[in-house]
Amino acid sequence: MKRISALALLLISTITFAQEKESNWKKGGVFTLLFNQSAYNKDWQGGGVNNIATNANINYGFNYKKDNDVWDNKIILAYGLTKTAGNSNFQKTDDRIELSSLYGKKASEFWYYSAYLNFKTQFADGYKTAAQTDKISTFFSPAYLQAGPGALWKKSDNLKVNITPASARAIFVNSEFTNGQSAFDVEEGKTSRFELGANIAAYYKFDAFKNVSFENILNMYANYLENPGNIDIDYTLNVAMKVNDFLSANIALQAIYDDNAVRAVQVREVFGLGFNYKF
């Protein structure tokens, strides 16, 4: 009987501890599946090409907060394909893997001592043209890894800015892309590049109207070791317009300026109506 009582007490204590631990976490994510299709019959005089497109996206965050400690984590996965009539190949419309982690130790009301880590790459091969004979990227090529200590200003989970004056960044590329040439600013014959610079990461999410949310993600990086005046900028805007619990219209807009890759602004835009599931 004493053993049963002791086991019951231990079980109750374990459950209570687990619930307390669980209560320190705020978890949640959204899975979105978008589908677009256009079709024209042979008598359509306005012109157009039959096409189908689909895009899947997972945006998941799990944030920890207890006493003076905060730890914010986010996973973003996205992949999209399109196919047009007369072209036997599917083409990518979206391809993204991003993992980020940010830890903070409270210093004042809204300020924290911080440390962060960010990793970016893609799922599949990328090509310069629709013929897909000129591969320019693939999984883990390029891959970007950034980390460093800094200062975090955080008013809420939806409004924060992290400043890292000493941020290390590594760029990884498969040797097939640096055979005879440089790629993503990795020198010919090499597979990686190291940089040290300053990084600013800002996040702001708000509801502009009822059932319409705007998520803004901004990253800026300046390399101290080479052309510190050239600032790399990566801005993403995600707009979700809720129709009901399972349907929504979504817009994703991303603009990148990185003169190591190309001396121009890269722009990606995805729009569609699709299935929406929160978990």
State the pLDDT confidence band at 75, using cuts at 50, 70 and 90. Answer: very high
> 119-167, pLDDT tens digit by residue?
999 999 999 887 788 899 999 999 999 999 999 999 999 999 999 999 9
pLDDT over 90 for what percent of the chain? 62
State the pLDDT confidence band at 21, using cuts at 50, 70 and 90. Answer: low
Mean pLDDT of 174-194: 93
Distances from the Cα of 38 to the Cα of 13, 45, 53, 203, angstroms: 59, 15, 9, 35
Lowest mean pLDDT among 92-96, 168-172, 201-205: 92-96
- Select the more confidently predicted residue: 204 or 264: 204
- Select the more confidently predicted residue: 274 or 151: 151
Average pLDDT, the chain: 88
State the pLDDT confidence band at 17, using cuts at 50, 70 and 90. Answer: very low
- Give the pLDDT score at 22: 64
What's the CA gap between 150 and 141, in Å, rounded?
A: 28
Mean pLDDT of 240-247: 89
In DSSP terms, 238 is beta-bridged to 215, 252
Residue 201, classified by CB atoms within 10 Å of its CB into exposed (0-12), middle (13-18) or buried (19+), is buried
Does residue 73 register a pLDDT over 90? yes
- Give the pLDDT score at 129: 82
Does residue 14 register a pLDDT over 70? no
Distances from the Cα of 173 to the Cα of 136, 155, 160, angstroms: 11, 37, 31
- Give the pLDDT score at 121: 97
Does residue 3 register a pLDDT over 80? no
Does residue 18 register a pLDDT over 50? no
- Give the pLDDT score at 144: 95
What DSSP assignment string belongs to 241-264? EESSSSEEEEEEEEEEEETTTEEE
State the pLDDT confidence band at 13, using cuts at 50, 70 and 90. Answer: low
- Give the pLDDT score at 165: 97
User: Is 120 in contact with 132 (CB distance < 8 Å)?
Assistant: no
Does residue 12 register a pLDDT over 60? no
